[in-house]
Structures are given as C-alpha cells and as structure tokens.
Amino acid sequence: MTAAAPAPTRAEVEPRTVTLITGDRVTLRGPGGSRATIQPGEGRGAVTFGTYRSGNHLYVVPSDVSARVAKGTLDRRLFDVTALAEAGYGDELPLIVTYNGKAQQTRRTIPGATLARQLPVINGAALVVGKESSVLT
C-alpha cells in the first residue's frame, strides 16, 4: 500500500495577487504560484513583461523598468512576485527611498505614498505605497 500524496496547502490552491510598484498586478496560481497572469496598470497597455525564475522564485519585470533593474538602480526583489506574495504584500508595499532634500518632498513626488518614518541617517524615508499608486511611471 502506498502513502497518499499530501493535500495541497492553501497557498498552492488559492490565487494570490500582488501589485508591483509600477501599478501592474500579478496573480499567481497553481502549486507554489507556478503560473502568473499579468494585468498592466492603468495607461500601461503598451508595456511588455519579462518573466524569469531564479530557484523557486518568479520575477516579473516590466519593460519600462528593466534597464534600471539590470543596472541595479532598482532592486530586483521589488519584482520577485513569489517573495512579495509569501510576505503578504498584496495591495501595499513598504519601500525605503533615498532623496535629495527633505522627506516631505519625497511624499509629494510619489502620489499615494504614506510616510511611515523619516530615515535621516541614510537621507531617506520609509514609505508605504498602495495598489492605486504607480511609483515608477
């Protein structure tokens, strides 16, 4: 008699959706989020999306930010949809930004961002950005 396969976990059965900082939404389905459906954000119909896997993680990188990700000026982990979903970042994403000038100026340049904490040691701020925002467009 063979042992029955373990029942799929909730994360393997229920779709999980994350919103990228570009405003694009990615829905993960299947075991371990193996399939992704991408819905471009408002006004982003012409953007294409590159997807790749690294280990068990799926990355979805919009074409209009891919050069910045490749250069390292944008952290590629912002597009690791597997990690974002596992961490529970569906509709809000915490960010640390650095800036020239005062933190209050940063709040005004990222529509929809909420200042969580000023970080004067790094001349930056901790922000929370909701799904209705498109930080990089």
Residue 48 DSSP code: -
Average pLDDT (33-54) is 90
Residue whose C-alpha is closest to residue 31's, from 7, 2, 1: 7
Average pLDDT (94-119) is 68
Task: Say how far apart CA 37 and CA 18 lie, in whole Å.
Answer: 11
Q: What 3-state class would DSSP assign to 8? A: coil
Tokens of 37: 């459906």
Q: Is the pLDDT of residue 22 over 80?
A: yes
Burial grade of 88 (CB within 10 A; 0-12, 13-18, 19 or more):
exposed
* Residue 11 pLDDT level (bands cut at 50, 70, 90): very low
Note the pLDDT of residue 27. Answer: 93
